[in-house]
Amino acid sequence: MKFKLFYIAILTVFLVSTVYFLPKKVEAKENQVKITFCCDEKTFVYDQSKVVFDKNFKTNSALQRRGFFDDYLAKAKIAKQVMKMGFDECVATQYVLVGIDKVIDDVCRFACKSQTDSTIVFNPNNDNPFEITKEKNGICVDKQKLCRMVLEKLEKTNNFSITVPITELTAVSKESNVAKTKLKATFETNCENSNQNRKDNISLALSKFNGMVIEAGQKVSFNQVVGKRTEENGYKSAKVILNGKYVDGIGGGVCQASTTLYNAILLAGLPVSEWHRHTLKSNYVSPSLDAMVNDNGADLVFANDTNEKIYIKTKCDGKTAKVWIYGIENEFDFYTKSVVTKQTKAEQKTLVDENGQYADKVFYVGESFCLQNGSDGIESVSYLIAAKNGKTVWQKLLRKDTYAKTDKIVVVGTRQRSEIKTKADIKSQIDTICQA
């Protein structure tokens, strides 16, 4: 009798454990969840009874932990417990509704359309340097909201429909890109009276900046952009200022390019961290507004301290050197002011060409040419002024400078003119000039 009772107990435990651990179907129809997702006249169905399990769900215990065999109320309760552990609605939904993630992915693939942002194409050589394309907004499924709706419905029923919530993906608009390409400043200097080599040097140096796009926070070195002023790099011989005198040198005129850029930068409200004055006052810009550069360390350095890109356009047409700077609109209207605080007039000195050193330019009494232009000695200051609605908001000192005085030197001829009557006389005179 005792043996029989023991056998029955063992058999009962075996049967119970077998039923518990072997895979089984959801027997109660009310425990099966069916959800219809409606999206733009197309439906997607999640049917719990048709879920195909992968290798991660070989045992009923794994499914039972996730409430797979429970009714909808129990599933909703388990989902809340999952969210209390710090997980979001999507994780909770996928936990209690095994396989629903695949259906939601199908919905997203059908409904979602990527946005197309407006783009900026910078063509500095065009009169209108910007081509800005139109944007196209996109759409996507709000998955968090969708899963939240599923869990809310799951607290009331196991068979329901949901209209898929769609959210718009806002593209970068053409309007916002137009606002990023406003003309911030322009500045030009005159180079019409320069010789061709000097004009070519100005044009070459400025061309290095034409089309430049400067990222937010980026620093720019003039010397790094322009490169060494050598014949190999395309620069030619023209007048440069060296030790207070005008002498021939490779790259003459590049300082006019840097000065033009410097003033445009100031008027754009951008910070300049390095600049240098010339020894002599420049004739193409007001005192204390020049920017001397050279290969020996004198540089022009500035930065883009805005939150958007800066665009630079340059041009030298042989008459003027010009720089345009584009970006987000300035908060203020910027102006510069140059004030001469002291001036020492240059004198004119006459050099009599007794030895015929300049016979190719002057020969007779009454003939003359300018060997060296004079430049007044100057002490000056410059200011940057910010204005709004025509009223000054603030004014700050930019710099104080001293420019050396250099006298004008005029060479005059010494020979008396004689009357020339024959070709022989003319030839004789030419020979005399050549031998002088």
324 close to 183: Cβ distance less than 8 angstroms: yes
The least confident of 297-301, 371-375, 406-410, 431-435 is: 431-435
Of 53-62, 164-173, 247-256, the one with minimum mean pLDDT is: 53-62
Q: What is the rounded average pLDDT for all residues in the chain?
A: 87
Q: Tell me the three state secondary structure of residue 401.
A: strand
Residue at 123 is within a domain? no
Domain termination residue (choose one: 270, 297, 330): 330
Q: Measured between alpha carbons, how far is 417 from 413 in angstroms, rounded to an integer?
A: 11
> Cα–Cα distance between 221 and 260 in angstroms, integer?
15
Task: Give the CA distances from residue 66 to residues 75, 79, 151, in Å, rounded to whole numbers and listed in that order.
Answer: 8, 9, 14
* Domain end marker among 270, 300, 330: 330
CA dihedral (9, 14, 19, 20) positive or negative: positive
Residues 6+ apart with CB under 8 A from 429: 418, 420
Task: Compute φ and ψ for 429, nearest 5 degrees.
Answer: -65, -40
Give pLDDT tens digits for 88-107.
Answer: 999 999 999 989 999 999 99
Higher pLDDT, 61 or 373: 373
In angstroms, the CA 51 to CA 96 distance is 13
Nearest Cα neighbor of 408 from 363, 369, 375, 379 is: 375
Task: Provide the CATH number for the domain around residue 425.
Answer: 2.20.230
pLDDT above 90: percentage of residues in the chain: 68
Predicted pLDDT at 26: 44
Spatial separation of the C-alpha atoms in residues 321 and 236, rounded to whole Å? 17
pLDDT value of position 420 = 44
Residues 232 and 91 occupy one common structural domain = no
Q: Torsion angle of alpha carbons 264, 266, 270, 275, nearest 10°?
A: 100
Bridging pattern class, strands 408-412 and 348-352: parallel
Please check whether residue 391 lies inside any domain of the structure: no
* 357 is a domain residue: yes
The DSSP result for 163-208, as a single string, is: EPPEEEEPPPPHHHHHHTSEEEEEEEEE-TTS-HHHHHHHHHHHHT
Q: Is residue 272 part of a domain?
A: yes
User: In this prediction, what percent of the chain has a pLDDT beyond 70?
Assistant: 86
Q: Is residue 124 part of a domain?
A: no
Query: Which pLDDT score is estimated for 421?
Result: 46
Q: Does a structural domain hold residue 122?
A: no
Q: Indicate the residue type of 108.
A: C
Mean pLDDT of 186-195: 96
Which amino acid is present at 297? Answer: G
- Higher-scoring residue by pLDDT: 175, 9: 175
121 part of a folded domain:
no
Same domain, 316 and 214: yes
Q: Do 314 and 349 share a domain, yes or no? A: no
According to DSSP, residue 136 is labeled B
Residue 188 has pLDDT above 80, yes or no: yes
Arithmetic mean of pLDDT, 421-430: 50
Tell whether 323 and 359 lie within a shared domain.
no
Q: Quote the pLDDT of residue 281.
A: 92
- Sheet of 182-190, strands arranged across: 182-190, 320-327, 310-316, 212-214
pLDDT of residue 249: 87
Last residue of a domain, one of 330, 351, 367: 330
Q: Are residues 209 and 253 in the same domain?
A: yes
Same domain as 194, residue 147? no
SS3 content of the chain, % helix, strand, coil (to 5): 30, 30, 40
Q: Provide CB contacts within 8 A for 127, sequence distance 6+.
A: none
pLDDT band at 53 (very low <50, low <70, confident <90, very high): low
State yes or no: pLDDT of 27 exceeds 60. no
Interval 371-398 mean pLDDT: 94
Res. 436 pLDDT band, cuts 50 70 90: very low
Domains contained in the chain, number: 3
d(CA 187, CA 321): 8
Q: Are residues 38 and 150 in the same domain?
A: yes
| Residues 245 and 305 occupy one common structural domain | yes
List pLDDT tens digits, range 239-292: 887 766 777 889 999 999 999 999 999 999 999 999 999 999 999 999 999 999
User: Are 312 and 347 members of one domain?
Assistant: no
Q: In angstroms, rounded to a whole number, what is the distance separating the alpha carbons of residues 303 and 266?
A: 11
pLDDT at 193 over 50: yes
**pTM of this structure:** 0.76
The verdict on residue 222 lying in a domain is yes
pLDDT of residue 59: 60
Per-position b or e across 110-127, b if 16+ CB within 10 A of its CB: ebeeeeebbebebebeee
Tokens of 3: 């043996």
Tokens of 32: 């099966």
- Check whether residue 154 and residue 6 sit in a common domain: yes
Judge whether residue 432 has pLDDT over 60: no
Do the Cβ atoms of 398 and 382 come closer than 8 Å? yes
Of the chain, the end-to-end C-alpha distance in Å amounts to 151
Query: CA-to-CA distance for 16 and 354, rounded, in angstroms?
Result: 130
Q: Is the pLDDT of residue 235 over 80?
A: yes
**Domain span including residue 206:** 180-330
- If asked whether residues 312 and 187 sit together in one domain, one would say yes
Same domain assignment for residues 218 and 112: no
